[in-house]
Homo-oligomer: A and B are copies of this chain.
Amino acid sequence: MASQQPARPAAPAPRPTRRSEKSRRAIYDAALALVVEAGYPRTTIEGIAARAGVGKQTIYRWWPSKAEVLMEAFLDLAGHPPRDAAQEPSAIPDTGDLAADLKAVLRATVDELKDPRFDAPSRALAAEGLVDEALGRQYVAKLLEPSLQLYVQRLRSAQEAGDLRPDLDPRIALELFVSPLAQRWLQHTGPITYAYTDTLVDYALYGLAPRSR
């Protein structure tokens, strides 16, 4: 009923229309560069402001935390420069050969995971998300789950084609080859190679138990 009350007495709610686009971009660039060059723990809000040539208040006015700055900066990086071939929200190819399609996508993911411009910010956000549950859910919703849904679509298509058991849950099925790669990447539990991801697809599709019995 009551239309709206200002969230906090001391926060007069800034008007986005008057926001400086130049400062926002400078902050994104500074945040991403610092995370890659200095590492996340040594990336400070004061450091971002100084490098961006911006007052601290400009950051505190628009973002609640350093993690949120980096999250937006990374989303901007991942979803923005594209035009030509957007890398993230593009569907998984469907050539009719499920195993080949999955292997191709996972190989591309391997390359991406090894690019420091992707690795450093993404890993930093994941780390913060482990301990800050609200941020973690944001990370999953905005960065992880959209990619996983592409697998869901491809697996559904495979089910219709009879290449996948019709009774299984695609959202769980994809985890058999995606999660192992994710864990090796995040926790350095093993090397990440094309051979490894190819193996994951084979193991997952055809099972660990002997097929002839």
User: Which residues does A use to contact B, with CB under 8 Å?
Assistant: 39-41, 98, 123-124, 126-133, 136-137, 139-140, 144-145, 148, 155, 162-165, 168-169, 171-173, 175-177, 179-180, 182-184, 186-190, 196, 199-200, 203-211
Contacts and interface: CB of A to CB of B under 8 A. Distances in A.
A136 B175 CA distance: 23
11 contacts: A123-B131, A126-B130, A140-B188, A165-B209, A165-B210, A172-B199, A172-B203, A175-B180, A176-B180, A176-B204, A182-B183
B139 A131 contact: no
B200 A130 contact: no
Nearest to A136: B188
Given A176-B200, A207-B205, A126 B164 contact: no
A116 B130 CA distance: 14
Nearest to A209: B205
Nearest to A144: B189
Contacts of A148: 189
Given A129-B187, A162-B210, A207-B207, 4 more contacts: A39-B131, A124-B131, A175-B180, A182-B183
A180 B179 CA distance: 5
Contacts of A210: 162-165
Contacts of A155: 208
A211 B168 CA distance: 13
Nearest to A171: B190
Contacts of A209: 98, 163-165, 205-207
Nearest to A165: B210
Contact of A207 (B172, B183, B189, B206): B206
Given A129-B187, A179-B179, A187-B129, A196 B172 contact: yes
4 nearest A-B pairs in the assembled complex, by CB-CB distance: A207-B207, A175-B180, A127-B130, A179-B179
Given A137-B188, A175-B183, A187-B139, A131 B207 contact: no
